[in-house]
Amino acid sequence: MSFLICVGALAFLMLVAYRGFSVILFAPIAAMGAVLLTDPSAVPPIFTGLFMDKMVGFVKLYFPVFLLGAVFGKVIELSGFSKSIVSAVIKLIGRERAVTSIVLVCLLLTYGGVSLFVVVFAVYPFAAEMFRQSDIPKRLIPGVIALGAFTVTMDALPGTPQIQNIIPTTFFKTTAYAAPWLGVIGSIFILALGLLYLEWRVRSAIARGEGYGSGHINEPEPVASEALPNPILALSPLVAVGVLNKLFTMAIPIIYGTTNEVALTPGATPLVTQVSSVAGIWAVEGALLCGILMVLAFAWKPVSRRFADGTKAAIGGSLLAAMNTASEYGFGAVIAALPGFLVIRDALAAIPNPLVNEAVTVTVLAGITGSASGGMSIALAAMSDQFIAAANAAGIPMEVLHRVASMASGGMDTLPHNGAVITLLAVTGLTHRQSYGDIFVITCIKTLAVFFVIAVYYLTGIV
99-123 pLDDT, tens digit per residue, is 998 999 899 888 987 777 668 877 8
The amino acid at residue 252 is: I
Angle among Cα 455, 457, 463 to the nearest 5 degrees reads 155
Q: Is the pTM higher than 0.75?
A: yes
Please identify every stretch of the chain with a pLDDT value under 50, giving residue numbers as ranges.
none
- Distance between CA atoms of residues 110 and 156, nearest Å: 12
Nearest to 151 by CA among 384, 451, 407: 407
- Distance between CA atoms of residues 428 and 142, nearest Å: 7
Domain boundaries, the chain: 1-213+227-460
The pLDDT value given to residue 226: 67
- Distance between CA atoms of residues 358 and 312, nearest Å: 38
- Distance between CA atoms of residues 444 and 189, nearest Å: 12
Name 271's bridge partners.
Answer: 262
Task: Read off the DSSP letter of residue 70.
Answer: H
Task: Please report which helix (H) or strand (E) contains residue 117, including its range.
Answer: helix 116-134
The pLDDT value given to residue 351: 85
The pLDDT value given to residue 164: 92
- Distance between CA atoms of residues 106 and 395, nearest Å: 37
Nearest to 396 by CA among 225, 108, 182, 252: 182
Taking each helix axis from N to C terminus, what angle separates 98-111 and 81-93, rounded to the nearest 10 degrees?
140
Task: Please report which helix (H) or strand (E) contains residue 460, including its range.
Answer: helix 432-460
The pLDDT value given to residue 144: 96
DSSP 256-320: H-SEEEE-SSTTSPPEEEEHHHHHHHHHHHHHHHHHHHHHHHHSHHHHHHHHHHHHHHHHHHHHH
Name 274's bridge partners.
Answer: 259
Angle among Cα 401, 407, 411 to the nearest 5 degrees reads 135
Name 273's bridge partners.
Answer: 260
Nearest to 69 by CA among 315, 247, 251: 315
| Helices and strands, counts by H and E, the chain | 20, 2
The pLDDT value given to residue 20: 67
